[in-house]
Each structure stands twice: as structure tokens, then as C-alpha cells.
Amino acid sequence: MTTAAWRDPALPAAVRVEDLLSRMTPAEKTAQLYGVWVGAGPDGGEVAPLQSEMSAVPDWDALITHGLGQLTRSFGTAPVAAERGARALAATQRRIAAANRFGIPALAHEECLAGFTAWGATAYPVPLAWGASFDPALVAEVGARIGRDLRSAGVHQGLAPVLDVVRDPRWGRVEETIGEDPYLVGTVGAAYVGGLESAGIVATLKHFAGYASSAGARNLAPVRAGARELADVTLPPFELALREGGARSVMAAYTETDGVPASADARLLTGVLRERWGFTGTVVADYFGVGFLRTQHRLAGDRAGAAHLALEAGVDVELPTVDCYGTPLLDAVRAGRVPEALIDRAARRVLLQKCELGLLDPDWRPEPAGPVDLDPPEGRALARRLAEESVILLENPAGLLPLAPGSRIAVVGPRAADPLAMLGCYSFPAHVLPHHPGTPAGIAIPTVLDALRAELPDAKLTFAEGCGVSDADDSGFAAAVAGAAGADVCVAVLGDRAGLFGRGTSGEGCDAADLRLPGVQGELLDALVATGTPVVLVLLTGRPYALGRWEGRLGAVVQGFFPGEEGGPALAGVLSGRVNPSGRLPVSVPRGPGGQPWTYLQPPLGLAGEVSSLDPTPLHPFGHGLSYTTFAWTDFGAAKAETGTDGSYDITVTVRNTGDRAGAEVVQLYLHDPVASVTRPDIRLVGYQRVELAPGEARRITFAFHADLASFTGVAGVRIVEPGALELRLGPSSAEVRHTTRLRLTGPVREVGPDRVLRCGTTVTPAG
């Protein structure tokens, strides 16, 4: 019996796919270009924008006779036990394969922004906390662990990470981002991608591109960023994650830039992504993004028109469920309105990915290989490590922290005793369980209050909630104030409630009018400070909030960005001193609630000056974070005073732990370009290294700065390196410089492309 070429694993994937395509009808090819969201009908509670208007439950048995491209969120739509869910997914895959004449299963995708979004799966810190760790290696471990969990359940593709760079902290999805600096976002994001991909999961970069630059920080609002901002701030993290992380999928953003929605932008999805960067994977639509070309952007008059626009631009797969890419597209192809070649192009990419995943092989089987445990001990241990590294000590002026053993501690605030205070909006308990009242979280999530009781057994703890997260009820103030007045120290645990589309104070569709603490939490904090008892402010948030109102009035300030299921013990460990804080700010903390929608990447006229009465200078700058130990930076050195516009340059520093306990320092390298042909940020991050040191221990850190890292988009719209003077500044934050090296680049202006050096290499060696 002769085996068809497409079934032969010994042949190259491209050969197999061409053979398969030649045998498929237009209906069979089109079926590979959409997903189906079974169980997410209009009355199931919205977990995606406009889901109720755009979800139609298809005739399942009729649909799968032609095959199916993707299965949408089998685990992430309703609570289902891991083992049962994996078996059910396998049975569904068997049905899909049996129903179509080629036996091709679907590719199953899930969200994995802060862990596998499934009931009972480990809830890790949110990406903003990844950025706070400044530890790509640990983030890669987390990505690999999440990837193994996904694979164990039969999932092939993870819709993460978010590589949007924060441009306005009022945006609801700040918690999903890694920070406000493209180098930090790119390096940490690429590490997560590498972890997912190492486990065989197709990582999906989102949201491509410009989503976080929406006007007024409103979700899905138009993007009015210029071409240079897109090229120099928005796109580099995606480029780094593709080149270094090896991501095999990209998600088109909802937003429009200068009137062109991303899902209809061939210059972006084909010109930049494929022709310039050489991407060969799949582009998937954000949920209902193809349909939005008709209903929201009004670029198309019908579903077939929306499908044509998206396919032509380069969107290969419609998610989450069939709408435009089903019958409307097929009818348009048969009528000659849409070229069949567009379907062939997209189907080829989809089938190549399925081939690479083994879904076309004769020995494919969907059943799980072993027991499915989505919250194993090693997962919780990684969640704890990342949570501990991400906690940021912002202020500790008089050394109030660590807390003294045996103290009388008044714990106050709406986030102190709520497990959900630890979780971002894409965690399963916050994302899905609101639609299933009474269902337990499925994982153990110690609160700050519980963790403090365990951490400080000799302390005398009292608790009062004080107020809610976002309401105006201040009737609980009196009990909270009385508790604080009778204590040695007050720990005020304030912050956000993650949710979706206005059901939270942080999360998708939960944009903020300003950066005041939600509800009456600011007034509660005022009342606590007025007691005279030292107040330790602990923030559990998805974005930075303005803290200038309490400058100089607090005993200490600790920031946690939704630190996951082990966040309570991590925060309690920092308060007790068991954990030496080492997190650094991935976003600036504003002084005033207007926030002056601002990031540190500002040219001179974006900084404070006499031309405006408004001062945007943050209270705490990007990169800031304190420790319970001290570090000395010495022996600054540089290889030479100049290099070519294609050269490299080494800068070194020795860091010694001069305190009496182990700790981690984050050495940051910033670039200042005094004169350039277009305005440049006053400083920007081009390298960093986290280094852990025992008491008295020293390490020598060398940064290999390449001239490509000074490149930018010039007047002509191409990326260049210009000759001239530069300054390389070493410091523990963007606002504190410990050493400056002046470097001159010599030679001609040099145009650079996608093969340029994207990362500043670092080496760490022992020092005497």
C-alpha cells in the first residue's frame, strides 16, 4: 500500500503540505482558517469584547466534516478538572479527525498570560511583575513550566506574551505588559517565549502592533503614534522575541493606527513581519478582530469583505470562532470576489504548523501521556520565586522594615484578606469564575493577612477592612483607625481588583480616568497616617498609582504587581525580613494623579522645564528599588574611548555587597545621545544585569555595548547609526547615575536592518 506523501514523516514538511493542499477542496482549506469556541455562546457570560454580539454556536457535526483549524479555550471557558478536561479534549479531537476525510485534528489554543488559564492551574505573577524581577532567566523557567502544563493537557498554542510597551499607565491592560521600556519588554518577553517554545508550545506574540498606544488610554481607541514611535518603541520587543525566542505565531491587534486597523494592514503583517523580518509562522486574529473590520472599523460592508481584507493583509486564522472565514468567505471565493490563492497561502501556513506539531503524522494520538496536574509543587515553587523577586521596596526612610518581631500590628485595607487581590484579570479565578458563582478557586491562595500570621507568629495582629476597593463607603474607617491607633505599626494593604470590561479597577476594558487610588482608599490612608502610628503601605495593583500625596508621610512603601498565588507569602516575607527585596520598577510611579501620561522615554521637551507649569517628573523613577543590604560600585572601566559605527565597546563595574545579609543588585546601563538628527529620549535602557551577592561578596560585570544599540529611525525613515558623541551611564535606576563613560562613534552613517545587534551582552565574573 502506497502512503500519500503528506502522511510520510520522513519527507520535509513543505513537501508534505504541498501534497496535502493539492488534494483539498476550497471548503477543506477554508476550514483550516478558523477556530470554534464550543461552549461560549451568547448567554455564557462575556470573556471577550462583544462576545454576546458576535458568537454564534455552529452546527458542530456539519462543520467538522471539512476539518477544523483551531479549538478555542477548551479549558479557559468554564471550570473543569484537569484530567477530565484533557480526556474531553482528546475525545473532541478524535471526533474532528474522524469526521474529515484527511483525519486532521484541530490545533488547541489557550491563554497563558500568567499561567495556564485553566481551573486548578498555577497562578503566576502577572507580566508586570516579570518586568519588576529584571530576571529573564527565571521568566524563561516559568515559561517552560507553563508550556509543559499546556502540553500535558493536549494544548498546542499559548496566547502570550503581551509585548505592548506601556505608554499611558491609565490603560487597563498595563498589568498584562512587562513595562514601559522596549528593551526590558523585549528581553524578558523573549525569555518567556523561549520557555514556552522549549516545551513545544506555539507562543503567540500580542498585540501586533501599537495597541498600548491607544488615545486617552481607552481600550481599543485609535492609535495616533507616529511612524518613528512605532519603529523605535513599539516594534523592537516583537523583533527580539521572534529572533531570540523563536515565536511561531503573532496576534494582530484590535486597534487602528492612522486610520488603518492592524488586521487590514498589509504593510505591517506582510511588509514588516514577513518581508523585512522573515517570519514564517501564523498570524491569528485577536478575538473577533476580523469581524470588527465590518462592525467596529467599518472598512467592510459584509463578512466576506472583512475576510478579504484580513486575508489579503496577512491574517491566517480567524479567532475565536467562525464568522467571516466560514461560509461568507467560501461563497466569495466561488463567486470570484476573493482569490483562492489567498486561502491557499493561509492554509499552507496553518498546515505547516500542524505538520511541525506532529498533527499530520500517522501515529498522532491526542490522549494525555500521563497524569495531568496543573498546579504541581515545582510550579508553586517557581511562582514563589518569581513573586519574591518581583516585590519592590519603594521607600523605607527610617528602616521601619523589616517589622520587629512581637510587634502589635494593625493590618488594614480591602486587599489584605482577599485571595483575589493576588491575581490579574487573565488568571482563571478572576477571568472566568465570576460567571460561575460558588465555584471554589481551585488553588490555594494565601492572603497577605494569612501569610503575615504564619510569618510572624509572635506578633499581635488585628484586622479591619476599612473600605471596599472601588466604592465610596467610608463607614469602616472608624474601626480601621482605632486598630491603627492602638498598634505599634499599621500595615495598609490597598490596591486593585482585577476584572474585565469595567468589572474591576484593573484589567482588559478597565481603564482609569486618573491615577488616584480607587474608591476611597486614598482617604483611608490619610486617616491611618493621621493616627501618628507608622504606616507601611503595601500596594497590590495592576498599574502604578500616584503617591506624591503621601511623600514623606509613610514609614515604608512596598509595591507588588498582582504577584500570583504565592504573592501573600512573598510579601509577608519581605515585611518580616525573610526575603530581601530585589524588585525594580518596570514603570515609573507618578507624583500627581493626573499622571501627566508619561513614561521615562522622553526627549528634552518631554521633561520638566520652564516652558510649562506642569512637572511630569515621577515620584519614583523607572528601575528604582531598595534593598535591606547595601552595595558598593567600584572599579569602573572601559576598553577604549571610541569605536566605529559598526564597532563594540566594553564597560565594566565591580559590585560588592557591603551589608550583613545576602541580596541582589540590578545594574542598569543607559544610553544618552547628546546630539542626533532626530530628537531622542534623554536616556534609555540598553542593558542590565541582576547579580545576587552574599555578604562581602563581589562580582565584576562587563557590558558589551554594540553601536547597533544606539541606532534609531532617522529622518528618511530607515534605521541608522550616526557617528558622534554618546554617554553610557551606569546606575541603579534611570534617575541615579553612578558612573558615566563618554564614547565617540566614528566613521560613516550606517544603515542597519533586522540582522542588527539587539541585545547588550553581559558577563559576570568573581572579583577580589
- Answer whether residue 320 shows pLDDT above 90: yes
- Answer whether residue 48 shows pLDDT above 70: no
Residue 59 — pLDDT band, cuts 50, 70, 90? Answer: confident
* pLDDT, position 91: 95
CA-to-CA dists, residue 751 to 110, 263, 681, 713, 720, angstroms: 40, 29, 20, 10, 4
Can you tell me the mean pLDDT for 746-758?
A: 96
Whether residue 150 contacts residue 158, with contact meaning beta carbons closer than 8 Å, is answered with yes
Q: For residues 530 and 339, what is the distance between their CA atoms, to the nearest angstrom? A: 71
Helices 136-152 & 182-198 angle (0-180, nearest 10): 40
Q: How many CB atoms lie within 10 A of CB 437?
A: 6
Tell me if residue 567 falls in helix, strand or coil: helix
Q: For residues 508 and 531, what is the distance between their CA atoms, to the nearest angstrom? A: 37
- With CA atoms as reference, report the closest residue to 557 among 541, 565, 453: 541
Q: For residues 725 and 753, what is the distance between their CA atoms, to the nearest angstrom? A: 22
Residue 456 — pLDDT band, cuts 50, 70, 90? Answer: very high
Can you tell me the mean pLDDT for 75-83?
A: 93
What is the DSSP annotation of 251-306? EE-S-EETTEEGGG-HIIIIIIIIIIT---SEEEEPTTHHHHHHHTS---SSHHHH
- With CA atoms as reference, report the closest residue to 55 among 33, 75, 77: 77
Pull the grid cell for residue 551. Answer: 511623600
* pLDDT, position 54: 52
What is the DSSP annotation of 229-243? HIIIIISHHHHHIII
407 phi/psi in degrees, rounded to 5:
-70, 160
- Answer whether residue 157 shows pLDDT above 50: yes
* pLDDT, position 42: 39
Whether residue 752 contacts residue 720, with contact meaning beta carbons closer than 8 Å, is answered with yes
Q: Using one digit for the tens of pLDDT, what is the confidence trace for 135-153? A: 999 999 999 999 999 999 9
Provide CB contacts within 8 A for 677, sequence distance 6+. 714, 715, 722
Q: For residues 193 and 378, what is the distance between their CA atoms, to the nearest angstrom? A: 19
Q: For residues 42 and 46, what is the distance between their CA atoms, to the nearest angstrom? A: 8
Q: Using one digit for the tens of pLDDT, what is the confidence trace for 714-746? A: 999 999 999 999 999 999 999 999 999 999 999
Q: For residues 756 and 686, what is the distance between their CA atoms, to the nearest angstrom? A: 14
Q: Using one digit for the tens of pLDDT, what is the confidence trace for 565-608? A: 999 999 999 999 999 999 999 999 999 998 677 899 999 999 99
Query: 288, exposed or middle or buried, with CB in 10 Å at 0-12, 13-18, 19+?
Result: buried
* pLDDT, position 45: 46
Can you tell me the mean pLDDT for 508-521?
A: 97
Q: For residues 5 and 19, what is the distance between their CA atoms, to the nearest angstrom? A: 6
Pull the grid cell for residue 350. Answer: 496553518
Alpha helices in 296-336 (DSSP H): 303-313, 327-334
- Answer whether residue 57 shows pLDDT above 70: no
Can you tell me the mean pLDDT for 283-310?
A: 97
- Answer whether residue 2 shows pLDDT above 70: no
* Structure-model confidence comparison of residues 579 and 611, the more confident one: 579
- Answer whether residue 645 shows pLDDT above 70: yes
∠ Cα 706 239 312 (to 5°): 150
Helices 327-334 & 340-356 angle (0-180, nearest 10): 130
Omega before 12 cis (within 30°)? Answer: no
Handedness of CA 221, 226, 227, 229 (dihedral sign): negative
CA-derived radius of gyration, the chain: 26
Share of the chain above pLDDT 70, in %: 97
Q: For residues 529 and 296, what is the distance between their CA atoms, to the nearest angstrom? A: 48
- With CA atoms as reference, report the closest residue to 229 among 209, 244, 249: 209
Query: 611, exposed or middle or buried, with CB in 10 Å at 0-12, 13-18, 19+?
Result: exposed
Handedness of CA 321, 285, 145, 567 (dihedral sign): negative
- With CA atoms as reference, report the closest residue to 359 among 5, 9, 14, 21: 9
Q: For residues 28 and 244, what is the distance between their CA atoms, to the nearest angstrom? A: 35
Average pLDDT in the chain:
95
Q: Which amino acid is at 8?
A: D
The number of CA neighbours under 13 Å toward the Cβ of 632 is 11
Residue with cell 504548523: 353
- Looking only at Cα atoms, what is the longest distance across the chain? 87
672 phi/psi in degrees, rounded to 5:
-120, 125
Helices 327-334 & 303-313 angle (0-180, nearest 10): 80
∠ Cα 516 214 168 (to 5°): 35
Q: For residues 216 and 516, what is the distance between their CA atoms, to the nearest angstrom? A: 16
Q: What is the DSSP letter of 18?
A: H
Pull the grid cell for residue 705. Answer: 555595548
Global pTM reads 0.97
* Helix (H) or strand (E) run with residue 149 in it: helix 136-152
Q: What is the DSSP letter of 415?
A: T
- Answer whether residue 56 shows pLDDT above 80: no
Q: For residues 674 and 687, what is the distance between their CA atoms, to the nearest angstrom? A: 19
What is the DSSP annotation of 691-721? EEE-TT-EEEEEEEEEGGGG-EE-TTSSEEE
Can you tell me the mean pLDDT for 667-694?
A: 98
Whether residue 177 contacts residue 186, with contact meaning beta carbons closer than 8 Å, is answered with no
* pLDDT, position 1: 46
Q: Using one digit for the tens of pLDDT, what is the confidence trace for 478-511? A: 999 999 999 999 999 999 999 999 999 999 999 9
